[in-house]
Amino acid sequence: MPRISNFLGQVSDADTDDLPAGAAQQQKNVSTTTAGELRVRGGIRPQTLTTTTISASAYHTFQKLCYCKTRSGELIAVNGIDRGFRWDGVTTTVEALGITAPAAAPTITRAELGASDKGDGIDDIDDNSGLYRITSDASHGLSNGDKVRIGNVVGTGAMANDLNNQEFTIESASGSVFSLTGTTFDGTYDSGQAGTWSKSADVSDASADGYGATAGDYVFGYRYIDDTATAVPSNMSALTTVTALTSDQFTWGGLSSTTEARAQNKVELWRSTSGVSNVLYKVATLAYGSIGGGFVDQLDDATLNESAATDAILILTNPPTDNSLVARRFEPPPDDRPIVVQFQDRYFYLGTVKYNRSTVTTNGSTTVQGASGETDWVSTMAGRYIDIDGEPAPIEIASVTDGDTLELVTAAQTSASGKSYVIYPEASNSRQVDFSEPDEPESVPAVNVFTVQEQAGDDDDIVGAMTLGSSLFLLGNRHKYSFGFTRKPLKDGTVRYVEDRGVFNHDCWDVYENKAYMMDDTGPYVFTGGGSQPIGSAIKDLWRKDGIGNTIDFAKTASFHVKVDRAKARAYFFVCFTGDSGTQPTRALVYNIRRQSWDVYHYPQKIGAAATVQSSGETRFLLGSESGAVHMADAGNADILSAEVSGTATAGSTTTLTDSGASFATAVVGAPIYIYEGTGKGQIRTITTRNSGTQVTVASWTAPDTTSKYVIGAIEWNWKSTSFGFPQDGVRHERRVGLKFTPTTGDQRIDLRLYFNGSSTVHSFETGQVLGDAVEIQEDNKSDVVFFMKTARSVMENSSGAEAFRFDGTYSRLAHGDHKVAIELRGYAGDEVPKIQQLDIEGVEGKK
């Protein structure tokens, strides 16, 4: 006699006669995580979260956002359609990812310094105990320790060379005289010339004076900086070159304005010293409101050369041997990359979006019209390509006029309406990876890119990336590559082909206990870094599409995703089955990692994403569902509602249920409603509308009537066994199904259903029967043997949690030509959850 107490999950990829006794050929919404018990999964319940809008901008819904946390705790997000954003996790606003460089080079006007700008006059220079002593033509107001610069001195000996364009610390300051520390007097001053002195300029002071230029070529540029704690700059503008004469000053103008709010903070002015083109020094920092021009730069080269390290910047690292960008490394990440991941100290951007919302009309011109109000095109699509059905080749998009109108670089050759299309970046992008500068996720110069070379004869796109161990794994639909580097990805980075397993998309992997749980077109598998191990052999038929049971809908794989519930050691593979409505999954294939068994969950809501969070120190599993709701898994016994709502219909139609005695709350919208007795028994639908406190609307079903009992918030479940053969020994055997379960406080029940001889049609009994206090076949649903679980159902005695049903003909009048039977159990969970500990099947051949 098979005695089943160890439930092994679904094993559907096998002959139903060959399954182990505890395996299910088909099951729904039951969990086999715990050995020795079959129980209904926990309910999902909406969470009330404190929310704050951090962006007034709407991000495109065609492609979900991909998030990445930086090492400094900020969040960056991209979707491959819009400009990405960054959020500091504290303020209530987000900022566009990166800052676009100024549009134009500065305009620089040179002019000779005026006499008053060259410094105060020197009346005399004489010897003070071996030091040069300066006599100013007026009281100087200096103090010992101040610094001065000397210029325009003419004299004999070494005097001119010692003093001109040099900075000195002063001592013996008094009235109009001061001495220059550390000097050695030599020569005679020519008082007939206009020697000058000035207090040394401070380059951090935007109004600083100096002695002006040294004769030669100078380069000038500027950039924007934001107001974050660690200021992020834009790229340097294009540079302007000016040839200056000695003692020239420079007037800045032509600084470009910007529409980017983040850049409207401050502007830094940078220039070189004479004859140098690879090093720039910060001349001044201006408020953005002061960019109208007119800033006068009188700083001399000596002052700039003493700038702090943070106020000097290279254009290139060390040309010509190392032309790595420095001042021009601050290029924003590309807006056509939908994936970002962090690896080591850099951020990698990859993937492409193939946009095809609605249809288009062509008219043989450069204008393409989208279906009004449906195509939702955005400006970032300019520069991408549109491939229109019927056109001989893709055409580059010149500009986006509005959400429904594109202008092309060359005219379309067709004139047609209702045509399908796809918009995508340059084709070569599909296998390229862009990367940032170290610890600068917003600095992605165009040269920071490498290509993943195809090595397997199958040029699939790179659709995801995953860090595992010491490698970054680049994931194609059907292949996997590892990438690693020591210091510079372009110089010492290596890409290595790993294997011919991939993912449907970037969300089809999650890491738990140093293993990645992944899903591709051949099923779920575990990847350890060196190789893969399939884990889905028990349910392989779902992928194979060979007509056995429900199958994976491969047309919707863009929305599939994988997430591990760490607390319960379960890997969820969210998928759509053929025939499911919408494009987001309502089903999860759940792999019990410890027991290596499979469960199949079905939810009343579409699940677009999943995540784990910490709540009161406990790891909880969250589900992001339709209409922007967030649900916590295993948060009660019912779905959506905190408690079931039950009753008996007083009327109904093919899309409604009415209960005149009910008071349906608005919370029932989105909850499942299940008919557990009477007309329409076994139907479950999601409530789409609450018409009133007594009526709800659902998708089409068999109309309920006054016999229909319902539960709102119910979790429908079933479990169907392998087929058990009848002994062929000519002996009449007693055949019985026995159940051991946990009795319930309320009205709960389990339906037992029989399938003979491999038929997919449930057996229907000839008559209704009451078989004791807790088992009956109801007249209006004679295919179900109902086991009542309520403890106090009988006035004679309480339920012991053990009931049985004979099906050898004594009760059920079955024919005796049958040769095998499969057992199905089904029901619902609501306020209470059915828990089955043991299933005994007498009179059949045993299985291990």
> CA distances (Å), 819 to each of 62, 730, 759, in order?
54, 12, 12
Average pLDDT of the residues in 715-743: 91
Write out pLDDT tens, residues 317-370. 888 877 889 999 999 999 999 999 999 999 999 999 999 999 999 999 999 999
* Rounded average pLDDT over 12-20: 83
Q: Which residue has the higher pLDDT, 811 or 300?
A: 300
Task: State mean pLDDT over 596-602.
Answer: 97
pLDDT in tens, 105-122: 999 999 987 655 667 889
The Cα–Cα gap between 282 and 305 comes to 11
Asked if 818 and 756 count as a contact pair (C-beta separation under 8 A), the reply is: yes
| Of the candidate ranges 7-16, 178-187, 699-708, 827-836, the one whose mean pLDDT is the lowest | 7-16
| Nearest-angstrom CA–CA distance, 504 and 497 | 18
Domain extents for the chain? 120-199, 209-325, 360-424, 531-635, 645-713, 723-842
Name the least confident of 42-56, 200-214, 276-290, 610-624.
Answer: 200-214
Instruction: State what percent of residues in the chain have pLDDT above 90.
Output: 75
Cβ count near 199 (within 10 Å): 17
Cα 674 → chain centroid: 35
Measured from the Cβ of residue 817, the count of other Cβ atoms closer than 10 Å reads: 8
Task: State the alpha helices, DSSP H only, in 625-774.
Answer: none
**456-510 residue pLDDT tens:** 677 789 999 999 999 999 999 999 999 999 999 999 999 999 999 999 999 999 9
Residues paired with 31 in a beta bridge: 39
User: Is a pLDDT exceeding 70 seen at residue 709?
Assistant: yes
Question: Which CATH number applies to 645-713?
Answer: 2.40.30
- Do domains 120-199 and 645-713 share one topology? The answer is yes
Q: Strands (DSSP E) along 507-617, which ranges? A: 509-512, 515-520, 523-527, 532-534, 561-565, 570-575, 587-592, 597-602, 607-615
In one-letter notation, the amino acid at residue 31 is S
Identify the sign of the CA torsion 812, 813, 818, 819. Answer: positive
What average pLDDT does this structure show over 646-655? 98
- The whole-angstrom distance between residue 695's C-alpha and the CA centroid of its chain comes to 39
Q: Lowest mean pLDDT: which of 490-499, 609-618, 634-643?
A: 609-618
Contact (CB, 8 A) for 244 and 250 = yes
Instruction: Using alpha carbons, select from 388, 205, 387 the residue that is nearest to residue 285.
Output: 205
Q: Supply the pTM of this predicted model.
A: 0.87
The string over 513-552, giving b where at least 16 C-beta atoms fall within 10 Å of a residue's C-beta and e elsewhere, is: eebbbbbbeebbbbbeeeebeebbebbbbbbeeeebbbbb
pLDDT, tens only, 676-703? 999 999 999 999 999 999 999 999 999 9
The answer to whether the bond into 320 is cis (omega within 30° of 0) is yes
- Token code pair at residue 451: 């290509």
Q: Strand pairing partners for 250?
A: 110, 297
| Superfamily name with CATH number, domain 120-199 | Ubiquitin-activating enzyme E1, FCCH domain (2.40.30.180)
